[in-house]
Structure formats: C-alpha cells, structure tokens
Amino acid sequence: MKIAYISGKIETRNRDCFVGNQKVDCPGSQTKTYTQTGDKLDLLPQIPSLEKRSDTLFFTFLLVIILGFGALAVFKVKIFGKTLGEYVKPIWYLILIAILTVFWQYLFGLKIDDNLMSLKISQWIWEAMVLVSVYKLSKIPDFGYKNMFFLGILYSFFIHGLKVSIRYFFYGKSFLYVADRFLYGSLLVMIIAFILGSVFVYLRRKGLRF
C-alpha cells in the first residue's frame, strides 16, 4: 500500500477534506465505517443486504408512518394519557420552525461554502426548538416522563424522518445510510427531549421554579 504525505492546512468543504485544492482523507476517517458508495456511518455497521434502493418499500414504510399518525389524530388515541393533539397543539409553531429549518438546510444551507457553519447554526435552531418544546410542555401539571419519551419520538419523525426522506428521494441514498442517519439523529433528539425533559418534570414535581 502506498502512503502519500501531504503537508499543509486541512480544510473542510461539504464534508470532504482538502489541502489546497487536493482532496485528502479526513483525520480519523480510517477508523470510521462507510457504505459502499462512500457515505459515513455513525451507528450501523456495513450491512450489504441494506445497500440497496427500493422506492416501493420506502414508500410503504413512509405511508405506514403517515397513516399511523393520521389514525392517532383522527381517532384521538391516547398515548401515555395524551392525544396527539395534546402533544402538538401547545408547540405547533416550534415544530413548524424545526421543519422549515430542515428544508432550509437542504435548499440553501448545503450550497453555502462557509466550512459548514450555516449547517451547524441551523442544527442549533432545531435543537433549540426541541428544548423549548420540552420546557413548555413540562409546565403542564400532568405531563410526565413517559410523555417526554413520546415527544422525543414525535420530533424524531418530524425532523429526521423528513431529513432521511429528502436524502433518499433527492440524493439517491441507500436504506443503510438513511437508517443510520435516522437512528443517529433520533438519539440526539431523545437526549434533548427525554433526558432534559425528564429533568424539567422532576424539578416541577419537586416544586422548584425554573
């Protein structure tokens, strides 16, 4: 194996690394897992059987999820004592901002060459929307730990379900890649929604002001 040494400052452009105008391996990339098309995996290992595309199968998953949430709303099914409307109504505008932020990332953010700063800021925005949501809902007297868990699931589908759908349909990504991105992104959402939300619920039940 031939190893080339290139001196100079490494710069990041659209998730690739360059020294000047020459593309190089990003630091630490040798220890990371990638798909066959070169997309980085954060949680899942290489699974050849998932390195494929099937619009019919993806549409089926998507339709089941949409119809599932639709049924919860129409029939007012209660999840941990709350209907879907009771979760969404107090924070609908925060959810809308988070969704619009995702669209902005793909319509404009990816086209801005600023060393990914615009994408980082947009991520901070939807993270802030999740945080404000759990803080607002934690003020509701009968909103508990289980409710925070389900809120995390809701936000995972709102934000990362939308993201992986865009990546699948418009960027031609495989099942393996979008599954990895959904799980990785949902983990971050659950940390904010469930863990921090549970802290807010605990403080409220202890009678502490926050």
pLDDT digits (tens, 9 = 90+) for 77-108: 999 999 999 999 999 999 999 999 999 999 99
**DSSP E strands, the chain:** 10-13, 16-19, 22-24, 33-34, 40-41, 78-79, 82-83
Q: Is 38 helix (H, G, I), strand (E, B) or coil?
A: coil
**210 domain-assigned:** no
Is there a single domain that holds both residue 21 and residue 44? no
**Hey, which residues does 82 pair with through a beta bridge?**
79
Q: Give 57's DSSP letter.
A: H
**Domain residue limits at 59:** 33-205
**155 domain-assigned:** yes
Amino acid letter at 195?
A: I
**50 domain-assigned:** yes
Is there a single domain that holds both residue 42 and residue 122? yes
Whole-angstrom CA distances from 84 to 19, 137, 194 are 50, 13, 17
Is there a single domain that holds both residue 113 and residue 54? yes
Structure tokens given for 195: 């863990």
pTM: 0.82
Is there a single domain that holds both residue 3 and residue 60? no
Total domain count, the chain: 2
Show Cβ contacts of residue 14 under 8 Å, excluding neighbours closer than 6 positions. Answer: 110, 113, 116
Average pLDDT over residues 146-171: 95
